[in-house]
Amino acid sequence: MKILIVDDEPLARERLTHLIIEINNNYQLIEAANGLEAIEQVNKEVPDIVLMDIRMPGMNGLEAAHHLMSIDNPPAIIFTTAYDEYALQAFESHAIDYLLKPIRKERLEKALNSCSKLNKLQLEQLGLQNDEITYRTHINAQIRGTLFLIAVKDIYYFLADHKYITIKYSKEDVLAETIIEDTLKSLEEEFDHSFMRIHRNALIQKDKIEVLQKQRDGRILLKLKGIPEGLEVSRRHISSVRKLMKSSF
């Protein structure tokens, strides 16, 4: 069995490693220091179990687990946490296993022997109750069977096309596109702090707005910094776009 230990504190990872070896030295152990590294390791190593700290810089454990739930065969996840007893009620109410720091050997052994895979509803409800993650820092897409993450700050727009959403984003200063299966409505609700709707089929990153251009046929196109194409702004949304631009400049 392969176990991934995820914690931003090296001493915490070392302690868990020693405890697991004492329980069974046949386990294959790998490590990650945050949620982003955890996803890279899951793609590469395909662990059976992930021991995941919750509060980590960059990407916390709840968001990493959210992304891992999107793959075809996600690992079982056991959260490690320093939460107090009241916050732990959220875990208990959704039958999600957790280990309270400092972790005891007996409790760890029990968790490893009995852990089961999370489902998406459990994870969503846990996130809501603990208020650890209100929106994602990354969007995930599967490319040739591999989980691929796109930083939200690098996204220019979401464009709806039938049942798929096209994402336009920059990767190492190169423009790229991919598709995801989220709905535009759910993306708008989650990222309303940084994105706005400009058309029934389009959400754009607010801080990437450059200029509005009126076309000869009367259409209004919105140009975003760094991309050549313009996106049409509907009459319904033009006033809110102009108001945002006025307040930003």
pLDDT tens digits in sequence order for the chain, 249 residues long: 999 999 999 999 999 999 999 999 999 999 999 999 999 999 999 999 999 998 899 898 888 988 998 888 888 889 888 876 646 665 665 556 788 889 999 999 998 988 877 767 667 666 655 554 467 899 999 877 789 999 999 999 999 988 899 999 998 889 999 999 889 999 999 999 999 999 999 999 999 999 999 999 989 999 999 999 899 999 999 999 999 998 876
- C-alpha 240/C-alpha 38 separation (Å) is 40
Amino acid at 116: S
- C-alpha 51/C-alpha 38 separation (Å) is 10
- C-alpha 142/C-alpha 182 separation (Å) is 12
Helix axes 61-68, 120-130, angle to 10 degrees: 160
Whether 2-130 and 138-248 share one fold: the answer is no
What pLDDT sits at residue 66? 86
What is the pTM (predicted TM-score) of this model? 0.82
Catalogue the long-range contacts made by 88-96 (C-beta closer than 8 Å, 24 or more residues apart).
90/125, 90/126, 90/129, 90/130, 91/126, 93/129, 94/122, 94/125, 94/126, 95/122, 96/122, 96/123, 96/126
Displacement of CA 156 from its chain's centroid (Å): 17
Q: Where are the domains of the chain?
A: 2-130, 138-248
C-alpha to C-alpha distances, 124 to 17, 69, 116, 120, 207, nearest whole angstrom: 29, 11, 17, 6, 28
CB distance 67 to 149 below 8 Å: yes
Please give the helix or strand (H or E) that residue 129 lies within, else none. helix 120-130
What pLDDT sits at residue 117? 74
Q: Which fold has domain 2-130?
A: Rossmann fold (3.40.50)
What pLDDT sits at residue 216? 92
The torsion defined by the Cα of 41, 47, 49 and 55, in degrees rounded to 10, comes to 0
**Token pair recorded at residue 210:** 């450059």
Q: Which fold has domain 138-248?
A: OB fold (Dihydrolipoamide Acetyltransferase, E2P) (2.40.50)
CB distance 199 to 231 below 8 Å: yes
DSSP 245: H
